[in-house]
Copies of this chain bind each other. A is one copy, B any other.
């Protein structure tokens, strides 16, 4: 069962989320976190890493536009996060398509204890060393296989995994939950995944059960998106993005219903 009360707790606590961000979507992520009730910090300088980690309630590391310099920062920040017991969410952008990125993610996962990995099917399969494309798995079908991929990834790295897509699969390697996204508009707007990862981090800052935090984050964003999409008369991706941030600020726990959840 989802603990939607976590949304109210998040708003009460206003946790600081330190993002090593993707520069393409950073403004949307900051505004989305802020609207939801968290407090975003973006920092790029390793010399302030320890202070930023101390201030933060959770850390989100996004590989979206990585550079050698940023990878170094990711390692330093990740180690401070482990030292200060701040949960780390990893968004392994494009590790399925780019071998260099897969190596970067593997090195990070070797060096740092990660609370949650959030990626799409191709990314999670790559981290689990499962040949996703060769198996011809379509994110729209074969849900059973997606669950297996997510579980394999979670078991390999001893963390929670969110394999997101039309249906988000959330697992700690044993338990599995699924959240059905009610709108395809998330795919039409660049950065929906980045926003989800940072929102997941925000929930880990207010709840020690990361499996529960992950489910709640997925449900809150999916339901908010569905509420917004239901008001649009056409598939307007930029209007959807504006309305989504508005609604993240306004949405109430009582509105987040009618979402199919399979445990």
Residues of chain A at the chain B interface (Cβ within 8 Å): 21, 23-28, 30-31, 34-35, 40-45, 47-48, 51-52, 55, 64-68, 94, 97-101, 188-191, 234-239, 241-246, 249-250
Do residues B250 and A246 form an inter-chain contact, with CB atoms below 8 A? no
Specify which chain B residues have a CB less than 8 angstroms from the CB of A242 in the assembled complex. 238-239, 242
A250 interface neighbour in B64, B190, B234, Cβ under 8 Å: B234
Specify which chain B residues have a CB less than 8 angstroms from the CB of A68 in the assembled complex. 45, 47
Q: How far is the CA of A23 from the CA of B23 in the complex (A)?
A: 7
A209 to chain B, nearest CB (A): 29
Closest residue of B by beta carbon distance from A245: B238
Count of this chain's copies in the oligomeric assembly: 3
* 5 interchain residue pairs of minimum CB distance: A238-B245, A236-B246, A238-B242, A30-B190, A48-B100
22 residue pairs of the A-B complex, CB under 8 angstroms, read: A21-B24, A23-B23, A23-B42, A24-B30, A24-B40, A25-B30, A27-B190, A31-B241, A34-B189, A35-B237, A35-B238, A42-B65, A43-B65, A44-B65, A45-B66, A47-B68, A48-B101, A237-B249, A238-B241, A238-B242, A238-B244, A239-B246
Q: How far is the CA of A99 from the CA of B66 in the complex (A)?
A: 26
Task: Contacts A31-B238, A238-B246 known; list 5 others, CB within 8 Å.
Answer: A21-B24, A24-B40, A30-B190, A31-B241, A188-B249
Do residues A250 and B236 form an inter-chain contact, with CB atoms below 8 A? yes
Specify which chain B residues have a CB less than 8 angstroms from the CB of A65 in the assembled complex. 42-44
Closest residue of B by beta carbon distance from A68: B45
Q: Contacts A40-B190, A45-B67, A246-B236 given: A27-B30 contact, CB under 8 Å?
A: no
A108 to chain B, nearest CB (A): 15
Specify which chain B residues have a CB less than 8 angstroms from the CB of A44 in the assembled complex. 23, 65-67
Q: How far is the CA of A243 from the CA of B31 in the complex (A)?
A: 15
Q: How far is the CA of A30 from the CA of B100 in the complex (A)?
A: 22
Specify which chain B residues have a CB less than 8 angstroms from the CB of A41 in the assembled complex. 94
